[in-house]
Amino acid sequence: MAVYNGKSLSGLIGNIVLRQMRDKNVAQSRPSSFEQSESTRDNGTELSRASAFGKLVRIIFQPLLMGNYDGGMVNRLSVAIRMAIRENQAQQVWARGVEGAKMEKLEGFEFNLNSPLENVFNVFPVASISGQDELIIEVPSFKPEHDIRTKLDWTCGSLRILTAVLDLENYAFCYLPEQELSFRRTEEENAAFQSLVPLAGLKEHIVITCLAVELIKETRRGQSILNNKQFNPVSIIGASRLSGVALTDGETPPELEWEPATAYQHSVSKITGKLMARKMEEKKKASRKKRS
């Protein structure tokens, strides 16, 4: 029911809501309940899984990110992970997760669009997994003055390479030793770099490698790191899944210090719980509809 207060009407007439905003009389339709379709809810579950894994990736590579990423990075990473998940067409949308995602889709992801690695570093570093489950990291030779492209006034710097191995089945991850390639602006050329890390015996774990460019300004007072929100080139140079190569006689698995991914485990459990409850309710609705 609408009420006239001597100046205007306010209240409800049918599906029309009348009210006064500042000096204007406003009429708008009454909000109605809306039930999402099953496919929309399934897509929401898929996005939730991508977002949870994206948060884990951000936590793992915080030593390189240091909070210096662009404002849209969180959403962009979730979308990139979701696209990797969608490559798995063998499962229904509601059942798809990171476990079956094509991780190679994450290669080339830039954490800071204010200073993308591909625009700053004039060479193409690569991290890949061999058929024997060996992590191979390759950085071509480069000339610091020519191949580091920035307007910053820098003296020296380093390429920081960090690799993480993720065991999603047991909700754990570990770091491989960080590799740091130092250089000075006045050097004519830095030699090419290659490393090989055997990872056989680790089942089908996910391996992600990121590279960051860190620049330093030297003064009489000491050194200062120039990286900030506007300049912090960090990119995923390798993302793949181990094939689960078994160890041969005499070989020993790599000694790794695993850390629990507790927050990720809680997120996945929450998403799964909501999904199971929703699927049960949908099944009950379908059964009632069939009986009627």
Query: What is the 8-class DSSP label of residue 121?
Result: B
- Greater pLDDT, 162 or 269: 162
Q: Which amino acid is at 52?
A: A
Q: Within the chain, where are the H helices?
A: 38-60, 62-65, 73-86, 117-120, 144-147, 262-291
Mean pLDDT within 229-234: 98
Q: Are 217 and 224 in contact (CB under 8 A)?
A: yes
Of 3-12, 14-23, 175-184, give the range with the top mean pLDDT. 175-184
Of 54 and 11, the one with more pLDDT: 54
pLDDT at 112: 98
Measured distance CA(12)–CA(276) in Å, rounded: 39
Q: How far is CA 243 from each of CA 61, 143, 145, 164, 206, rounded to the nearest angstrom?
A: 23, 36, 40, 16, 10
- Check residue 1 and give its pLDDT: 59
Query: How high is the pLDDT of residue 17?
Result: 75
Across the chain, mean pLDDT equals 89
Has residue 281 got a pLDDT over 90?
no
What pLDDT does residue 252 have? 81
What's the pLDDT score for residue 213?
Answer: 98
pLDDT, tens digit (0-9, with 9 covering 90-100), for 38-96: 677 777 888 999 999 999 999 999 999 999 999 999 999 999 999 999 998 777 777 78
Segment 177-187, tens digit of pLDDT: 999 999 999 99
Rounded-to-integer distance, Cα 137 and Cα 19, Å: 65
pLDDT at residue 4, rounded to an integer: 62
| Continuous segment of H or E residues that includes residue 196 | strand 193-198
Residue 216's pLDDT is what? Answer: 98
Per-residue model confidence as pLDDT tens digits over 191-212? 999 999 999 988 889 999 999 9
Please provide the size of the chain in residues. 292
d(CA 40, CA 52) in angstroms, rounded, equals: 18
Q: Which pair of tokens denotes residue 215?
A: 């620049």
> Which of 1-5, 20-24, 55-59, 255-259 shows the highest mean pLDDT?
55-59
- C-alpha span between 41 and 285 (Å, rounded): 16
Beta strand segments in 220-273, E: 222-225, 234-241, 259-260
The string of pLDDT tens digits covering residues 146-157 is: 999 999 999 999
Is residue 34 scored above 60 in pLDDT? no
Say what the pTM is: 0.84
